[in-house]
Amino acid sequence: MKVAVVGATGMVGNIMLKVLAERQFPVTELIPVASEKSVGKEISWQGQNYRVHSLEEALAQKPDLALFSAGGSCSLEWAPKFAAVGTTVIDNSSAWRMKSGYKLIVPEINADQLTASDKIIANPNCSTIQMVLALNPLHQLYGLERVIVSTYQSITGTGVKAMQQLENEESGDKGELAYPYPIYRNCLPHCDDFTSTGYTKEEMKLVHETRKIIGDKSIGITATAVRVPVMGGHSESINVTFKKDFDMATVRKTLHESAGLVVQDNTDTHTYPMPKYAEGKDAVFVGRLRRDESFRNTLNMWVVSDNLRKGAATNTIQIAESLLEKGLL
């Protein structure tokens, strides 16, 4: 299994390499790929040093699998080139997610959609992944009617520059800014660029990607995405109205038995999900489960996950594992 990791020196790329090792993905030849400034440098993986390649060099080697985490413009240009030489591409950018004819996959939900003809497969947005993983099992029982979500998103979703800004502000040092305002001791209701409607692109990803993954365009979804000075992961307050009434005991049991989810919900012991404790883990944590008494068939929930792992790297590797299991790699 010849595997290229495009963006191997970046934040998500580093974690992809870590997850490949942790999950013992059958890599027989690793091809780390990065921007021109990193080509020729070496990275260490599984006790060996590997030279960082350019995209051209990696393409010439015709890998079986290419894991892309190098931004949308790179994916739009290079993913089709890799697919054309027979490589299966799993892309972590937003480039292919909403394009017709391309699958948007969360393995626990829709890995059964994967076929041999899927040579470019999209990995969903981090905030979408954790939300749909929590909602889909309940959708199967009660039918989603409307979702109101507010996100509290880690600065790691912006990248190294944002982490440096927070560290500089904490220590009182000056430095380059990732955000238009301070993030230390602050919250920014501004994730990604604003659109003409007043919503940000991040908020609209939650709308469109959720409908595509679950396979229901009729679900009403509205989102507010907020950046918070947190490292460990993304948190979401979700208010969901179902088409049918629900039973709280069944809700808890269903979530507890659903793959990829961990229920942390005991107010007596102050047990609830927190990003500090989700960091470095692959699960999506669900808690603060309670009926919304103000509206029919409506549930409140709090959902937390490490956005760099299940929200990006781990979900990517799980897609690759699904392809292997189906004999498509």
- Residue 126 designated active-site: yes
CA distance 317 to 31: 15
- Residue 191 designated active-site: no
Phi, psi of 285 (to 5 degrees): -100, 135
Instruction: Judge contact between 78 and 87, C-beta under 8 A.
Output: no
Catalytic residue (one of 74, 126, 139, 191): 126
Q: Minimal CA–CA distance to 286: which of 308, 266, 307?
A: 266
Largest CA distance in the chain: 60
Catalytic residue (one of 53, 139, 191, 234): 234
CA distance 217 to 219: 6
Instruction: Judge contact between 313 and 68, C-beta under 8 A.
Output: no
229 C-beta neighbours (distance < 10 Å), count: 18
CA distance 147 to 298: 9
The residues carrying an active-site annotation are 126, 234
